[in-house]
Every structure is written in C-alpha cells, then in structure tokens.
Structure 1
Amino acid sequence: MNRKRYVTFILMLMLLLLAAACSDQKNENEKVEADEPTTSEASADDGEGDGNSADEEAKENTVEEVAADPLPQSLAELEELPAGYTGFISILDENGQKKIDELTAHLPDISGERSGNELDHYYNGLLAVFQQDFKGPDELIAKLKFQSIGSPDIDNPRMQFKENMNVLVILDGSGSMGKKIGGQTQMEAAKKAIVKFVGNLPKEANVGLRVYGHKGTGSSADKAMSCASSDLLYPLQPYEKDAFKQSLDQVKPAGWTPTELAITEAQKDLANFNGEKNTNIVYLVSDGISTCDDDPVAAAKALYDSDITPIINVIGFNVDNDGQRQLKEVAKAVEGTYQDVQDAASLQKELDQANEVAKQWAEWKKRESQSLSHERLKKDLDIFVFDSQQFTKIVDERQQVGFTLQYLYQTKKIMSSESYDYLVEKNTEYHRWVQTQYDELKADLENMNEMQYSEAIQALEEKYLQNTPD
C-alpha cells in the first residue's frame, strides 16, 4: 500500500470512530432525557409535593372540636355541681375588676369570631366560676324523712319513736378546725352550737360526745398517731351541763382527719342501745374530707345496717368541694341529711332541727304512744324559706355571670357583638330553666301539704329520685 492510500485509510478510520462516539453520546442523552420529567411535568410534580406537605401540615394544625358538655338537665344534676366563687363582685370597682380578671384568666380566648360550640364551652367555664351551691330534691327529701320520725303513718321501724332516745355527736377535732370564721375558730363556734343543742334536748334523752383527729399535729411524722385518735369524751347518758362542758373543753384542733375510725368507734358506743327499744340519732360534724386513707362511707353504711338502726345526719362546716363530695356520699349511703353550713348561726339552726324531733319524742313519751298530729309539712319543711333561698342563688348567679360578660365585652376580651349576645341569651335562658325547675318543686311540695308523710315522701321520691343513679 502506497503512502497516499495509507493516509487516506487512517483518516477514514478516525472519522468512523468519531461518528460512532457521537452516536453513542446522542443515545445516552436521549435516554437521560427520557428518564427525566419534562419541565411541565417537573412543575406538576413540585406542585403536588407542596400540596401534600400543606395538607399534612393543615391536618396536623387542625384540632378536632369536641362538643361542649350539656348543662344540667335536672335539679339532681344541678345539686351535684361544685360551688364556685359566690361572693359579690362589682365591675365598677377596680378591685372587683381585678378579681374578675383573676377568676376568668383560665378561660379560652374568644376575642375573635367563634362557633356556637366554642361559645358553649366558654359559657360552661364561666358558669363554673360563679356556680352557686343549689339544693335539690335529695337533701330536701332526706330532711323530710328526718322530720317524719314518729309519724304514725310511717311503716319504717327506724323512723318510729321508741322508749328511749340517744343522741351521739361526732365532732371533727382535726387541725383545720382551727381556722378563723366570724372572729372565732371553727372549733369555738362548733362548741358553742353543740352546748346549746344538747342543752335543749329533753331531759329524758341520753347524749354522747365523740371526737376524732384531736391528737398530734398535721405533720407527716404525726400522721399515724393522729389517724388513730378518736375518744368518747362523754358516754351516752343524761345531759349534765358542767360535766359535758368540761369534756368538750378538752378538745383542741390538732391533727389529721380519721373519719372512718370515728364512725366505727361510734358503732361500739351505741352497741348496747338496740334499735328495737331506742331511737338513735347520730350527728357527724366535720369541716373536710377524711385524710387518713380510709373509707368513711363504708363505715357509715355498716353502722346504718347494724341492729342499732340509727338515723345518721351529716353537717359540713365550711367545707371545700372535695370534702362536700365525700360527706354527701356518707349521708346518701345512710339515707340521712347533709347540710353545708358556713358559720356558727347556720350550724346552730341545723342542730335545732334535731331539737324539734326530740321535743316531738318527749311529747309522744308523755302521751304514752298516743297518736300525734304530724301535719307539719308546711311548718317544719318551711317551703317558702327553701324557695326564697334558691331564688336568691338563681338571681345572684345569673347577675354575676351577666355582669362579668358585660365587663369582658367592655374590655375587648369578647370582641364580637354576636358572641356577646349569644352568651347573654344563653345565660338568660339557662337561669330561666333553673327557676322553672324550682317553681315546679315548690308547687309539688305545696300540693303535698295535706298528704300524710309517707304519701308525700313516696310521691317526691317517685318523681325526683327514680332516675337518680345510685
């Protein structure tokens, strides 16, 4: 091969290799482009990705709205609500405004537009702040039963007068009874009321005094000792003023609150007074919940179910919501009365109810079991006093909630006039319903005035307690 042909051959070979390389590169580029999305496809993909992220973020930030709890549907439910702040607050007074700010600080923000459900939640919270301690049919019927003791038309042997009457007072001597109330301690107020109470009992009745929680201190180191303290300071016997007072003077508010122990020991105090021949009445006076990890409700039920067949009533003296709840459970378990009293005068008034029953027993004893006239529903139950007390609470609660709404609207904590109008109308309608319920109860009580006690009690229980859970 000559030199010219050789050069030509080399040049042609190089051109063929170069063409092949370009062809491979083109195919590779086409493959890469085929694998990658187009600009529009990429944009669509990017948009879809952002959309999913936004949806997920929105989903995470969306809180499922829970339906507001319903307001009470009956007087029994109304009675169960714990009391809130029941003092009067003026929205025109700077201190009153500060108090409202303090009491409503925990409520949710409704400065913007809100749904009806959110406003219902808000109203429930505001109502709880100013909730009054309404009395319902449970306590009323229990009081009516107590007042019916000795009535000839009552078949229950527990509620009939017997040859003897024994009244045992169980007094809380725990440290909290040292709190001041009306210029004196709760213990001092309780002592005065009890002395007057037992002093007014018929001389034929026996009286006893048991105290509990009066030893040690409120410290953890003294808990065991304090929770084991309960003494019968005045055994059941006729009242002797000096001896009784001397026994009561020993009591100083001290330690923890062993309520179960006191009730269990009270059963021993009454062991020799069988219910067949004795009308036994027990008054538990306490200012709070039992603090000794015990079960006073079970102890009270055991005493109630014993052959002592006592009538057990409970008085809560300036008690908080937890204490009220437990003491009410004690009273309910033994079908007794529960009364919450805030001062010495109201404590005395409650104990006077037992004095009235004791006087009826003394009359019965004098008449040697002759029938007594027990048309006392109007006099003893005092329908109009009860009704006026509940009416005052309705007015106070409605006005305090209404005034607070007005203040919150004026200070821009409620911005929307629609929200404000909704809450005001809800407040009006709710308290109109409460008033209707009490009007109906009052009418029922008035209609039962001419009934015998057993008929009246049965009618009230059938109407107001048949749907009440145990």
Structure 2
Amino acid sequence: MKIFKSILVSALLLFLLSACSNDSAKESNETEDKSTPGNEQTVKKERKEKAVNDNVKVEPLPTTYQELAKLPVGEYYNIATSEENSKKEIPKVFSDLPDISGNPSEKELDYFYRELLKKMQQDFEGPENLINRLKFESLGSPENTDSRYQFKDNLNIVFIIDASGSMAQKINGKEKMASAKDSILNFVNKLPKDAKVGIRVYGHKGTGSDADKALSCSSSELVYPISNYNAGEFQAALNKFSPSGWTPIGLALREAKNDLASFDGANNTNIVYLVSDGIDTCEDQPIEAAKDLYSSNISPIINVIGFDVDSEGQNQLREIAAATEGIYGTVTNEGELQKELDNLSNLTEQWKEWLKQGKQKIESKRIDNALEIFSYITHEGRKQTDERMKISSILYHLHRANRMDDESYEYLQEKNREYHNWIKTEIDQFKKELKALNEASYSEAIKALEDKYITNTQ
C-alpha cells in the first residue's frame, strides 16, 4: 500500500512538473512571438494579406508639392491640441473617424490616416502663388513683359468689401468691419494725388435670416466711385455701411466689371482687392464672375484677402485667386491686414516715382527676393510642423481613449513622421532652388519658376 501511494505521489508530481513546463514554454513562446523581429514581419504579412480583402479605398498621399497645395484646407486645421482640453475633446471631435479598435489591416490604418489628414490639412501654398506674388511686387519693372503688370498713365485701385453679418464678429475686442475700414483708411491716406480709388460693398442690406436672403443677395453698391481720394467723401462712404446680411461675392465681382468698364487695361493699371471673411452664400458663381472680370479688356490684377476665414472659406477664396492668377493671403487680425495693404502702398509709391521720371524706363535692377523667399519658406515650414505635431497629438489622445491598440498607434505615428519628413524635404529643396534663382535677374528667375512649376502642371 505504501509503495502504491509512493508511486501515485510520484506520478502526480511528474504530471504537475510536466504541466508547469508546458505552461512556461507556452508563455515563453508567446513572449517571444510578441517581441522577436521575425514575428513583427509575420504580423505585417498577415495584415497585408487581410488588406487584399478590404473594401476601403485609400486615396493616395500627394507626391508633389503642387498636389499638396491643391488639397482642400481641413475643417480642423486650426484646432488646439493642448493637454488641458484634449483628453475629452479630441475623442469627441474625431468620433466619426473609421473604427480601428480591433485588429486593423495596414490598408485600414492607411485609410484612417488619410481621413484624419483630410480634417487636419493645412493651407500649404504652392509655387504658383509665390510666382504671382513676385510678379505683383515687381509691378512696373521694365523687365516685366506682361502688360497687366506694367505701369500705365493711370493707377486705379478698387476694394470689394464683405459687409455680411459675420463681419460684426470681434477680434481682440474690435469688430472685423471696423478693422477693415481703418486699414483701408490708413492705406488711402498714403495714396499719390494722381492715383484713384474706389470701394464696392456687398451683403450690406437685409439680415442673415432666410426671409432676407433675396434682398441681401442682390445688394452690392459702389459707395465710393473710382476717383481721386477726398478725405471727407471717403469717410462718409465708409460710414454708409455696416455688417448685415448674406455674402454675394459673385454679384460684387460682376458689378466691379461695370465699375471699371471705362478704365481699359491699355491705359490703366487696374488693381482689385477682394476682402471677405467667408464663402459666397448666395450661389451666384463667384469663380466664373472673377474669371470674366480678369479676362476682360480691363485686364485687372485681382488679389484676394481672407480675413479671419474658416477652412471652407479659405478653399473658395484660394480658388478665386488661382482662377485669376492673383495672390491669396490669409490674415487673422487688423495688424496682418494692414501689413498686406502696406505692400500695396509701396507699389503706389513706385508708380509715383515712375511718373516723376517722365515715364522713362526705370533703370533695370535685380529684384531682391531674399526676404520674400525667407518668408515663404518659413511659413511653409511652420505649416508642416504644425500639421505633424497636431496629428501626433490627436493620435496620442485617441490611443489613450482606447480607440486603437499599441501596434496601430506606432504604425500611424511612423506614417505621420515619414509623410511630414517628405514635406520638409520638398520645402528644403524648394528653398535651395529659390536661392539659386535669386542670383539671376528677375526675368530669368520668373521664367525658370514658370517653366519648372507651372507648365508641368497643365
């Protein structure tokens, strides 16, 4: 009996030891599977195989800077991602992103990243806008072969101002409309006596209600006819309107064509500034109206200023500027608006100097674009950094909210780093090319830029 008990105990011990050994081996294998490089490749392979059966269609990321600049500005491009309010807000704001909480394939993760990027897309500016800015700032140069950018006997500047209800919003305690009026007033006070200025306003009648839409969408008025500056009359014109209704940009542009009808481009340098804080809300085809004005015998230079504008407004205003080969600029406060108009003041002084010299050709000189290039590269670099860091922060908060596992989180963070490293490389390359071109004459630089960046995108 004792021998039997001894054998039974020994058998039980052997069984337990064997079980423990198997469990240890299993744990060891599981740990090894999670940590060894070979297993990572296996997981990636499984994901790739699974992706073949996925139904999602992943839009490709841009491969050129021109493609990047054409992407619409994202709805949340300017969202704050600071720690104090992101823990709860980020998962809520981005709740409609694809669900990757399970075991997503690489294709599903790529799709998730592309959808997140759409929401966060910055307003990257392609080389075309820079070329148009360089052309505008060289207005009057004898090297400029485009007659639109040559000084004529007469200089006319028309402001088309948004008077929709949203212009009543305040920035730093001051109404946007008041800031726009003050900035324009500061500008006209510096005009040469021979220059002419006009102001057309739109959306200044009715209210923003549906009942007043028809009235407001048909409201646009030339409150200061194109003429030499008269301080009293100009101030009275500015006092005639205040923020009110809807936003008929198309109507205002078509009416501006009538305003300038007697100022043909052969004898007049015509510059139009469209100032708006949002999209056209009257469905009156603003882009077509802008093209029609641009291609008329008025031959105007049309520049667009987005004043504290959201992503949807930026996208439409950029399209108007692009359709007319004009400059698009975003300003967020009165100081930035004034700075934009100061560039215009410099041009009016150059025109005054041109008149003084008896309309003889100004001595040809190399245009110093160094500051403009530095400003452009700095702004593009800042956008790249902002977008990368904001997406990284959003991924972090979504990960903390258990919207993805560790492996998905690392995959997406790496994809974000790689994509923005590509953008940085493009900016660095563009910087080198621009610096090299700046050593050439203005005409050579512009031709080289156009040959490289514009003709290749047709």
Structure 1 residue aligned with 2:379:
389
Runs of 4+ that moved beyond 6 A: none
Match of 1:399 among 365, 379, 389: 389
Q: 1:103–1:129: 8 Å Cα contact kept in structure 2?
A: no
1:93-104 correspondence runs (5 A)? 93=84, 95-104=85-94
Contact 1:263 1:296 survives alignment (8 Å): yes
Structure 2 CA distance for partners of 1:291 and 1:242, relative to 1, 3 Å: same
Change (3 A) 1:393 1:322: closer
Superposed displacement of residue 158, structure 1 = 1.2
Aligned amino acid, residue 322 of structure 1: E
Question: How far apart in 1 are the matches of 2:390 and 2:250?
Answer: 39
1:281 aligns with 2:271: yes
- Alignment match, 1:371: 362
Structure 1 counterpart of 2:397, one-letter code: Y
- Letter of the 1:197 partner, please give it: F
Match of 1:244 in 2: 234
In the superposition, the TM-score normalised over structure 2's length comes to 0.83
Residue 235 of structure 1: how far off its partner (Å): 1.2
Q: Pick one of 62, 72, 85 that aligns with 2:62.
A: 72
Q: Give, in angstroms, the shift of residue 279 of structure 1.
A: 0.8
> Any conservation in 1 of the 2:367–2:441 contact (CA below 8 Å)?
no
Higher mean displacement: 446-455 or 226-235: 446-455
In the other structure, the counterpart of 2:166 is: 176
The question of 1:418 aligning with 2:407 is answered yes
Residue in structure 1 matched with residue 23 of structure 2 by the alignment: none
How much does 1:315 deviate? 1.0
1:86 equivalent among 78, 81, 84: 78
Query: 1: distance between equivalents of 2:185 and 2:118?
Result: 38
Distance (Å, rounded) in 2 between the aligned partners of 1:327 and 1:403: 29
- In structure 2, C-alpha distance between the alignment counterparts of 1:294 and 1:129, rounded to whole Å: 27
Gaps of 5+ in 2: 1-51
Report the aligned-residue RMSD: 2.0
Question: 3-state SS of the aligned residue for 2:350?
Answer: helix
Structure number with greater Rg is 1
Structure 1 equivalent of residue 424 of structure 2: 435
Which one of 197, 207, 213 corresponds to residue 217 of structure 1?
A: 207
- Secondary structure at the residue paired with 2:321? helix
CA offsets 1:233-289 (integer angstroms, 9 cap, x no match): 111122122321221122111112222221122122212222122111111111222
Structure 1 residue 63: Cα displacement: 7.6
> Are the equivalent residues in 1 in contact too, given 2:304–2:317 (CA < 8 A)?
yes
Spell out, residue by residue over 1:169-203, the C-alpha distance to the aligned partner (whole angstroms, 9 max, x if none). 11111112112222122211111111112222222
CA contact (8 A) 1:151 1:453 kept: no
Alignment partners' CA distance in 2, 1:96 and 1:376: 47
Which secondary structure state, in structure 2, belongs to the residue aligned with residue 226 of structure 1? helix
The alpha carbon displacement at 1:316 in A equals 1.4
After superposition, the C-alpha distances for 1:84-120 in whole angstroms (9 at most, x for unaligned) are 23244223x2x22122122221122222222111111
Q: Structure 1 CA distance, aligned partners of 2:418 and 2:338?
A: 37
Identical-pair percentage: 50
CA distance 1:214–1:74, shift in 2 (3 Å): same
Secondary structure in 2 matching 1:465 = helix
2:317 is matched with 327
For 2:314 and 2:390, locate their aligned partners in 1 and report how far apart those are by CA, in whole Å.
23
Q: Secondary structure at the match of 1:315?
A: strand
Look up the SS of the partner of 1:466 in the other structure: helix
* Helix, strand or coil at the partner of 1:391: helix
Task: Give the TM-score taking structure 1 as reference length.
Answer: 0.81
Query: Corresponding residue for 1:453?
Result: 442
What residue is the counterpart of 2:112 in the other structure?
A: 122
Tell me the distance in 2 between the aligned counterparts of 1:144 and 1:124: 33
With 126-135 and 145-154 compared, the bigger mean Cα shift is at: 126-135
The structural deviation recorded for 1:421 is 1.9
Alignment CA distance shift 1:167-1:403 (3 Å): same
Offset, 1:216: 1.1
Q: Is the 8 A contact 2:77 2:311 kept in 1?
A: no
CA distance in 1, matches of 2:104, 2:290: 49
- Tell me, in whole angstroms, the C-alpha distance in 1 between the residues paired with 2:116 and 2:439: 42
Structure 1 residue 374: deviation in Å? Answer: 4.4
Aligned CA distance change for structure 1 residues 389 and 250 (closer, same or farther; 3 Å): same
Native 8 Å contact 2:91 2:397 kept in 1: no
The secondary structure found in structure 2 opposite 1:99 is helix
Instruction: Look up the SS of the partner of 2:438 in the other structure.
Output: coil
Q: Residues 364 and 177 from structure 1, CA distance in 2 versus in 1: closer, same or farther, beyond 3 angstroms?
A: same
Structure 1 unmatched runs, 5+: 1-61
- How many residue pairs align between the two structures? 404
Aligned position for 2:177? 187
- Quick one: distance in 1 between partners of 2:179 and 2:203? 17
Give the conservation status (yes or no) of the 8 Å contact 1:200–1:355: yes
1:201 to 191, 202, 214: 191
1:358 corresponds to which of 336, 348, 369: 348
Instruction: Go from structure 1 to structure 2 and tell me whether the alpha carbon gap of 1:86 and 1:293 turns closer, same or farther (over 3 Å shift).
Output: closer
Distance in 2 of aligned mates of 1:196 and 1:373: 31
Following the alignment from structure 2 to structure 1, what is the Cα–Cα distance between the partners of residues 78 and 215? 37
In 1, the alpha carbon distance for the partners of 2:454 and 2:289 equals 24
1:128-171: CA deviation from partner (whole Å, max 9, x where unpaired): 33332222212212211211211111111111111111111111
